[in-house]
Amino acid sequence: MRILKTITLAHGAGGRETGEIIEKFFVNLFKIKRVGEGIGLDDLEDSATIPLSDGGHLAFTIDSYTVNPIFFPGGNIGKLAATGTINDLAVMGAKPLAAMDSMVIEEGFSIEDLEKILNSMKGVLEKYNIALIGGDFKVMPKDQVDKIVLTMAGIGLIPKGRLIKDSYVKPGDKIVVTGPIGEHGAAIMIAQAGLEAEAPTIRSDCAPVIDAIEAAFTVRGIHAAKDPTRGGLAMALNDWAKKAKVSIIIWEEKVPLREEVRIYSEMLGIDPFTLASEGIALIAVEQSRAEELVNKLKDIGYKRAEIIGEVRKEREGYVLVETISGGLRILEPPVGEIVPRIC
């Protein structure tokens, strides 16, 4: 066994090393990890839940946003925090109700920028009728925090019978994606490399996926949903394969990927399957309902929704990609830090 002495950037990257830290220092340490039969710490889901007496659940999520730069093509840290919070609730079957923010900001930060960030946050939350019910505000000297660490907690209501989770993915399910992958990761990567002028069409997809998830619930046979953020498709699908004890095969030619994103990923040496999205969802749906779901998604504006793969029984825990050239490769959960401070 490796002996860990210090924290590395990879521990915060959302890939395999983050999983190890969470397992070792949180899941194994804490004894009280859930309320009643709710979703708890060791479920490692996008939200935790507390069961209600009517058979529904309250859903809760928390995330700290450390994205760099805080203003990026397609959004800013305020829009991202509100979006990420909403999506973490929505993919569990929850209707988001309320949010709370906690801001740690550097001394000397521009009030004008703060206003822009808060306006973006407000825009996203209020579009979906989500209340900001409270928060915290702290300031640290400039050498002690870089611009802003913005934490947001979200609260939602999961009506009776609507809770979905990773382990509900079933052999035979089709995997549907609501839009092109890797757009947020590509935008941050481009911004960090100072290439915005060369790649003006690369923008974060940062947007709530509530309407996609709500549309999915009008189609029966939805087993799970997930927003592939840190670690991208590779992390999300490996999570499903491991937790549901299934394998997942993805047909590369079906995966929507914008040409510019493909080119810049290649140029920067990054597999787009590991790049974060902030505005798409993966949905595992019964085979017989998959076409209907894709059509419904296209109807409401997700023009590039696709069936990209299917769930199988054999080779439990693996994600395989049938490549465009006809080969088969194992898609591993990402290791190391792909793009720092991606969200």
* Residues 123-152, interacting with a copy of itself (CB under 8 A): 125-126, 129-141, 143-146, 149, 151
One character per residue 212-251, x = contact with a copy of itself (rule: CB under 8 A):
----------------------------------------
Contact 171, 312 (CB under 8 A): yes
Total residues at interface with a copy of itself (CB under 8 A): 83
Q: Which of 36, 130, 138 is nearest to 88 (CA)?
A: 130
One character per residue 87-126, x = contact with a copy of itself (rule: CB under 8 A):
----------xx-xxxxxxxxxxxxx-xx--xx--x--xx
One character per residue 45-84, x = contact with a copy of itself (rule: CB under 8 A):
x-xx-x-------x-xxxxx-x-x----------------
| 39 interacts with a copy of itself by CB under 8 A | yes
| CB nearer to a copy of itself: pick between 102 and 287 | 102
Q: Which of 100, 59, 97, 95 is nearest to 81 (CA)?
A: 100
Report the C-alpha gap between 341 and 343 in whole angstroms. Answer: 6
Tell me which H or E stretch contains 102.
strand 95-106
Of residues 151-180, those binding a copy of itself (CB under 8 A): 151, 153, 155
Report the C-alpha gap between 74 and 244 in whole angstroms. Answer: 34
Of residues 4-23, those binding a copy of itself (CB under 8 A): 4-13, 18, 21-22
| CB nearer to a copy of itself: pick between 5 and 197 | 5
Closest contact distance (angstroms) between CB of 112 and a copy of itself is: 8
Closest contact distance (angstroms) between CB of 212 and a copy of itself is: 23
Of residues 256-295, those binding a copy of itself (CB under 8 A): none
- Report residue 88 CA to chain centroid gap: 7
Q: Which of 63, 135, 128, 52 is nearest to 90 (CA)?
A: 128
Report the C-alpha gap between 74 and 77 in whole angstroms. Answer: 11
| 201 interacts with a copy of itself by CB under 8 A | no
| 193 interacts with a copy of itself by CB under 8 A | no
Question: What residue type is 35 in one-letter code?
Answer: V
| CB nearer to a copy of itself: pick between 61 and 178 | 61
Closest contact distance (angstroms) between CB of 176 and a copy of itself is: 26
**Residue 320 structure tokens:** 């395989």
Closest contact distance (angstroms) between CB of 29 and a copy of itself is: 6
Cis before 69? omega within 30: yes
Q: Which of 211, 210, 220, 298 is nearest to 256 (CA)?
A: 298
Report the C-alpha gap between 283 and 37 in whole angstroms. Answer: 24
Question: What residue type is 61 in one-letter code?
Answer: T
- What is the residue whose two structure tokens read 């000297």? 141
Closest contact distance (angstroms) between CB of 146 and a copy of itself is: 4
Contact 272, 232 (CB under 8 A): yes
| CB nearer to a copy of itself: pick between 8 and 218 | 8
